[in-house]
Structure formats: C-alpha cells, structure tokens
A = this chain, B = another copy of it.
C-alpha cells in the first residue's frame, strides 16, 4: 500500500507531513472556499492519513490557523521612515492590500468569519494572532510619540481602532473596495486630529 519514507516516530513528528497538510489546506481554501476545506480533502490532497491530521490539529480551523500564522508577520510589519505620515499611509495601504487580495488575507477573512460562530476560535485568533498584529500596527505611533510627533498622552488603542477599523469594516461588512485614496484619507483624518502643528 505504501512505500514512502517515514519521518515521524516517538521522538518527533513528520515535518514533511506537517507542511503537506498546511499547503493542502491553503490550496483548498483558495480553490474551493471554506466549505471546501474538509479533513478528508486535506488528507487526500496532502497524501496523508486522516489520523495524522487529527493527531496534531483538533479541527480544520486549527490547520488554517497554523497555515495562517506563518504568513502574517512578514506581510504586515510596518516600515520606519522617520516620518509618521509616510509610515502610516504605507502601512494602511499594505494592510488593505493584504486583506483584500492576498492568499493569507483570504484565510484571515475565513477564520474571522468562523470566529463569529465559535467563541473559542475567536479567543485563540485574538490571543495568538491579532494581538501580535496590533503590536505591529502600534509601532509607527509609538515611534512618533518618542520623536515628539504625537502627544505622549495619546490613547493609542483608540487611535488604532479609528485608523484600521474602517478598513476591516469595508472588507468584512460592506465589501466595498479599499483604494489608496481611502487609506490615505484615514491617515489624513488621524493626522489632522492628533499631529502637533
């Protein structure tokens, strides 16, 4: 029945199988949508036994979560040009691009959708992923505060919600496009309100 190389044993799992599963899940999501991602489908496409998936992931969303984890950070770490306006305009545009057009952005939308039905997933999504993204989102503002471009007493959390909230809203609710003009305008509103001078 099989003659492939076995990598897993008591001292560790098969990295080969792990990667195959994550890629298969990603591919299926892209090709057939969330409902098209099934454990059986992942197993078949990855050339892996169902039990191997169940051994390491409690459910299909956990597979997607793990597949997602590896992609997010690299895409969405803001640059540091030394100018607040430049930094946040660039970062918001990158965020919009990520959410609307990238493959991991699609995974994010699917997971966020599923999180509406599943509070445990919602919590894990926030704790393991979104909080780190918030940390990255915060960087330009913190650097501007250190440079004196923004007041030290700024409520950074609320400011972040104002900056990125409308982008997520368009992506998740209205489905409207999120062009550069929209993200630039968000940045402008923020700067108009908070920036010294």
Q: Does residue A101 face the partner (Cβ distance < 8 Å to B)?
A: no
Which of chain B's residues have a CB closer than 8 A to the CB of A115? Answer: 113
- Find out whether the CB atom of A116 lies under 8 angstroms from the CB atom of B193: no
Partner of A110, one of B117, B123, B126, B175: B117
In the complex, chain A residues 121-141 whose Cβ is within 8 Å of any chain B Cβ: 122-123, 126, 130, 134
Look across to chain B and name the residue whose beta carbon is closest to the beta carbon of A113. B116
Look across to chain B and name the residue whose beta carbon is closest to the beta carbon of A126. B175
- Find out whether the CB atom of B164 lies under 8 angstroms from the CB atom of A169: yes
- Find out whether the CB atom of A169 lies under 8 angstroms from the CB atom of B174: no
Query: Contacts A189-B193, A192-B193, A193-B189 hold; do A112 and B161 have CB atoms under 8 A apart?
Result: no
Q: For the complex formed, measure the closest distance between the CB of A84 and the CB atoms of chain B, giving whole angstroms.
A: 17
Which of chain B's residues have a CB closer than 8 A to the CB of A33? Answer: 117-118
Q: Does residue A186 face the partner (Cβ distance < 8 Å to B)?
A: yes
Look across to chain B and name the residue whose beta carbon is closest to the beta carbon of A29. B117
Q: For the complex formed, measure the closest distance between the CB of A196 and the CB atoms of chain B, giving whole angstroms.
A: 15
Q: Does residue A96 face the partner (Cβ distance < 8 Å to B)?
A: no
Which of chain B's residues have a CB closer than 8 A to the CB of A130? Answer: 173-174
Q: Mark A179-196, 1 if CB is under 8 A from B, else 0.
A: 000100110010011000
Partner of A172, one of B116, B118, B167, B182: B116
Q: Does residue A50 face the partner (Cβ distance < 8 Å to B)?
A: no
In the complex, chain A residues 19-59 whose Cβ is within 8 Å of any chain B Cβ: 33-35
Would you list the 3 A-B pairs with minimal beta carbon distance, nearest first?
A113-B116, A165-B166, A165-B169
Residues of A whose CB lies within 8 Å of any CB of B are 33-35, 109-110, 112-118, 122-123, 126, 130, 134, 158, 161-162, 164-170, 172-176, 182, 185-186, 189, 192-193
Question: Could you give 13 example pairs across A and B, Cβ below 8 Å?
Answer: A33-B118, A35-B118, A112-B113, A112-B116, A113-B115, A161-B166, A161-B182, A162-B166, A165-B165, A165-B166, A169-B169, A172-B173, A193-B193
